[in-house]
Amino acid sequence: MAGKSKSLKWYGKAVKKDMREAQIEGVNRTMAACAAEAKANHPWENQTATLEGSIDIADYAAPVADGVKGTWGSRDVAYALIHELGGVIKPKSAKALAIPQDDGGVVFVQSVTIPARPYLRPAADTHYPKLAGRIKTAFKRRSKKR
């Protein structure tokens, strides 16, 4: 075996780049799946489609110091959070809240308790566990090109 040498080709920078791109793809695919699930499986009766239409990716995945970061959820709908978490609504500047009735009348109340109707968290609970697999699949696809 004398005289024979072997060499190793170093792909460190390329592997790091592939991993970062795979992370971005995995996070974006996971956020898209979460948004689609939340739109399709929300627990409230849809009347105007405003809240449902607000569910989307707010910020696509982008590199940050130690990985990637993206944001999804309900955008620009003031009552989105109270649907997700529930809570109590009280008047800010009036003495009471006016609740319209089906017969055309109005009932005045001091507060209204809104039950939680989670739609974002259940979608996240379904799809976040799949994130690592999505990153792994994207990385394998990229590393085969070399």
- Give the CA-trace dihedral at 20, 58, 74, 133, to 10 degrees: -20
Question: What does the pLDDT look like over 44-90, one tens digit per residue?
Answer: 887 899 999 999 999 999 999 989 999 999 999 999 999 999 999 99
Question: What does the pLDDT look like over 86-114, one tens digit per residue?
Answer: 999 999 999 999 999 999 999 999 999 99
Two tokens, residue 142: 């990229």
CA separation for the pair 32, 46 (Å, rounded): 21
Indicate the pTM of the whole model. 0.82
- Give how far Cα 43 sits from Cα of 19, 39, 55, 100, 119, Å: 37, 10, 14, 23, 7
